[in-house]
C-alpha cells in the first residue's frame, strides 16, 4: 500500500533544512575573523610571565648590587641598581612603580653615602615626579629626601657660621622636616586606607 506524503510536509522538511543550513553558516561566519559576536577577553591585569621576568631581573640586580657592596665596589653596586630603572615591565603594572621607586631610594642612599648629594636629590626628585599614586614607596622616597636635606645641612654646618650659611642650614632643615612630614602623612593615610579595606 503506497503512503503519500503530503506536499506541505515535504515543504516543511526543505525549509527546516534551509534553516539549519543558515544557522551553521551564521555560526561559522561569526567565529571567523573579527566578525564574531562575542569574544571572551583575556584578563590584562593578571600576573603574567612578563611581570615575573621583570621582577626576577630586578631581584637579580639587587642581589648583584649587594654582592658589590659587600666587596666595597659602590660604583658597581650603583650601576647594577640603575639597571633596575630601565627594566621593561608590563604596561600599567603597579609593581613596576613600586620596584623602581624602591630602587631609586636605594640608589639615593648609596649616593648619599658616597657624598654625591646633588645626584641623590636628582634621583629622588625624578622618582617623585614620575610617581602616579601615593604608596609606602613614595613615602620612603620622601624619607630619603629628608635625609638628603639633613645631610646638606650637616655639610653646611661644617662650612662655617656665616649668616648666609645659617639661613641655608635652617632652610635645609626645614625642607627635611617638610619631607619627613610628607612621608608620615602618606604612611598614615595609607595605613588607614588598608585598615578600612580589611
Residue 38's contacts (CB-CB under 8 Å, 6 or more residues apart) are none
Identify whether the C-beta of residue 128 lies closer than 8 Å to the C-beta of residue 145: yes
As a whole number of angstroms, the distance between CA 195 and CA 167 comes to: 42
As a whole number of angstroms, the distance between CA 167 and CA 1 comes to: 121
Q: To the nearest whole angstrom, how small is the minimum distance from the Cβ of residue 98 to another protein?
A: 5
| For another protein, the closer CB: 124 or 169 | 124
Stretch (H or E) spanning 164: helix 163-197
Show the CA angle centred on residue 143, arms to residues 120 and 168, nearest 5°: 65
As a whole number of angstroms, the distance between CA 195 and CA 17 comes to: 64
153 forms part of the interface with another protein (CB under 8 A): no
Q: For the segment 103-122, give every residue that binds another protein (CB under 8 A).
A: 103, 105-106, 108-110
128 forms part of the interface with another protein (CB under 8 A): no
Provide the grid cell at 159: 662650612
55 forms part of the interface with another protein (CB under 8 A): yes
| For another protein, the closer CB: 92 or 115 | 92
Identify whether the C-beta of residue 74 lies closer than 8 Å to the C-beta of residue 113: yes
137 forms part of the interface with another protein (CB under 8 A): yes
154 forms part of the interface with another protein (CB under 8 A): no
> DSSP code of 35?
G
Interacting span for another protein (CB under 8 A) from 114-122, 141-149, 154-162, 166-174: 141-149
What is the binding site for another protein (CB under 8 A)? 6, 8-9, 11-12, 15-16, 18-19, 22-23, 26, 30, 34-49, 51-52, 55-56, 58-59, 62-63, 65-66, 81, 90, 92-95, 98-99, 102-103, 105-106, 108-110, 133, 135-137, 139-140, 143-144, 147, 187, 190-191, 194, 197
Amino acid at each position: 500500500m503506497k503512503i503519500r506524503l503530503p506536499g506541505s510536509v515535504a515543504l516543511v522538511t526543505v525549509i527546516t533544512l534551509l534553516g539549519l543550513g543558515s544557522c551553521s553558516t551564521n555560526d561559522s561566519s561569526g567565529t571567523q575573523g573579527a566578525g564574531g559576536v562575542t569574544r571572551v577577553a583575556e584578563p590584562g591585569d593578571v600576573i603574567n610571565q612578563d611581570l615575573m621576568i621583570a621582577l626576577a631581573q630586578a631581584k637579580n640586580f639587587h642581589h648583584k648590587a649587594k654582592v658589590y657592596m659587600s666587596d666595597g665596589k659602590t660604583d658597581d653596586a650603583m650601576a647594577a641598581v640603575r639597571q633596575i630603572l630601565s627594566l621593561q615591565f608590563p604596561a600599567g603594572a603597579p609593581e613596576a612603580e613600586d620596584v623602581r621607586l624602591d630602587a631609586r631610594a636605594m640608589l639615593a642612599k648609596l649616593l648619599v653615602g658616597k657624598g654625591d648629594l646633588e645626584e641623590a636629590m636628582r634621583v629622588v626628585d625624578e622618582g617623585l615626579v614620575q610617581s602616579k599614586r601615593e604608596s609606602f614607596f613614595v613615602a620612603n622616597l620622601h624619607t630619603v629626601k629628608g635625609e638628603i636635606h639633613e645631610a646638606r645641612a650637616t655639610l653646611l654646618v661644617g662650612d662655617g657660621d656665616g649668616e648666609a650659611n645659617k639661613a641655608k642650614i635652617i632652610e635645609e632643615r626645614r625642607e627635611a622636616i617638610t619631607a619627613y612630614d610628607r612621608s608620615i602623612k602618606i604612611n598614615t593615610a595609607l595605613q588607614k586606607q588598608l585598615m578600612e579595606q580589611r
